[in-house]
């Protein structure tokens, strides 16, 4: 894979993709073919505000290095950075869990703390577009709550039902939605049958929409540490993909996140991922 990037002393990468990872690329992100340019300026304004606008058409992805996440997000969010679109910025983990037969996405577990209905519309559409860029033609979305029935005392069930109706009316496109669903009903067709739930999503989910950041973050970490899952994190709703890895992440995690980023960047080149 060819990668051209600017590396700040603080560790932020501006990357230009020219292919997809191969088995020869597994020595770590910094060992790929690249051109490295060291700059001494402060990272937040110059790379994202001045840098992106100055390199429009060249910069195709961003990857966080040793910076704190809030520093990177604080630079991405302002309109002056040139990365915002009409959609709300969100985050998704692309998960590989040994006990589930295919990859799936958890969103939002890192950016939106208490999203409202309009926020969730953008969050789920961002995740749908990502899943389609990864090769799933019609992704299935399970909208999570504590129960699978609408209950006025549990706001997330009302929002789940509203999102499903929004999909019926074309306000959310490109997927099949069902919710509210408790986690067991979303992930297990057998659990859904036992409860008498008929759903095209149950047991075949591609996207899990969490009710809020707390629930999404706990779900991600539970699957990671108790079920042996691995997750590649990516920021969505921006003009180009942004990877926010943890400073403690392994090389493998950084590689998988960068691989997802490369697939999204390539889909964007091909006109299959166009967020405005």
Strands (E), the chain: 3-7, 13-17, 36-38, 61-63, 90-96, 104-107, 140-144, 176-181, 207-209, 230-236, 242-243
Which among 102, 114, 110, 167 is positioned nearest to 141, based on CA atoms? 167
Q: What is the mean pLDDT of residues 209-224?
A: 97
pLDDT in tens, 160-169: 999 999 999 9
Supply the pLDDT for residue 117: 98
Q: Does residue 21 surpass a pLDDT of 70? A: no
Supply the pLDDT for residue 24: 42
Supply the pLDDT for residue 251: 79
Yes or no: say if 274 and 268 are a contact pair by the CB < 8 Å rule: yes
Supply the pLDDT for residue 269: 80
Q: Does residue 62 surpass a pLDDT of 60? A: yes
Q: What are phi and psi of 177, to 5 degrees?
A: -110, 145
Q: Look-up: residue for tokens 């799933």?
A: 136
* Percentage of the chain lying above the pLDDT 90 cut: 55
What is the DSSP annotation of 133-187? HTT-SS-EEEEE-SSSS--TTSHHHHHHHHHHHHHHTTSS-SSEEEEEE-HHHHH
pLDDT in tens, 36-60: 333 333 344 344 444 454 444 556 7
Judge residue 113's burial from the number of C-beta atoms within 10 Å of its C-beta, 0-12 exposed, 13-18 middle, 19 or more buried.
exposed
Supply the pLDDT for residue 198: 94
First to last CA, the chain: 27
Supply the pLDDT for residue 58: 58
Average pLDDT, the chain: 80
Q: How many residues does the chain have?
A: 276
Q: What is the mean pLDDT of residues 31-37?
A: 37
Q: What is the mean pLDDT of residues 65-91?
A: 77
pLDDT in tens, 234-274: 999 988 888 887 777 777 888 888 889 888 888 888 887 77
Supply the pLDDT for residue 80: 63
The CA distance from 252 to 28, in Å, is: 8
Query: Torsion angle of alpha carbons 174, 180, 183, 186, nearest 10°?
Result: -40
Fold of the 86-237 domain: Isopropylmalate Dehydrogenase (3.40.718)
- From the CB of residue 162, how many other CB atoms can be counted at a distance below 10 Å? 17
Supply the pLDDT for residue 13: 45
- DSSP conformational letter for 81: G
User: Worst-scoring range by mean pLDDT, 33-37, 59-63, 66-70, 176-180?
Assistant: 33-37
């Amino acid at each position: 894979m060819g990668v051209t990037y600017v590396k700040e002393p603080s560790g932020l990468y501006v990357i230009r993709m020219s292919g997809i990872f191969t088995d020869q690329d597994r020595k770590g992100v910094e060992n790929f073919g690249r051109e490295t340019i060291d700059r001494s300026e402060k990272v937040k304004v110059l790379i994202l505000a001045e840098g992106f606008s100055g390199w429009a058409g060249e910069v195709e992805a961003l990857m966080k290095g040793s910076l704190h996440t809030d520093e990177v997000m604080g630079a991405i969010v302002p309109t002056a950075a040139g990365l915002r679109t009409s959609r709300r910025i969100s985050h998704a983990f692309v998960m590989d869990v040994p006990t589930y037969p295919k990859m799936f996405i958890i969103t939002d577990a890192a950016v939106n703390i208490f999203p409202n209905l309009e926020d969730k519309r953008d969050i789920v559409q961002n995740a749908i577009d990502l899943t389609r860029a990864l090769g799933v033609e019609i992704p299935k979305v399970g909208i999570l709550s504590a129960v699978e029935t609408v209950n006025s005392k549990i706001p997330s069930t009302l929002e789940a039902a509203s999102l499903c109706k929004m999909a019926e009316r074309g306000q959310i496109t490109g997927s099949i939605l069902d919710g509210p669903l408790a986690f067991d009903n979303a992930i297990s067709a057998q659990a859904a049958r036992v409860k008498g739930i008929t759903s095209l999503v149950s047991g075949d989910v591609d996207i899990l929409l969490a009710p809020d950041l707390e629930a999404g973050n706990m779900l991600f970490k539970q699957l990671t540490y108790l079920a042996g899952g691995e997750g590649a994190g990516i920021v969505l709703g921006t003009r180009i993909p942004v990877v926010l890895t943890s400073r403690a992440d392994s090389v493998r995690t950084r590689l998988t996140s960068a691989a997802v980023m490369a697939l999204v960047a390539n889909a964007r080149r091909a006109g299959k991922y166009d967020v405005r």
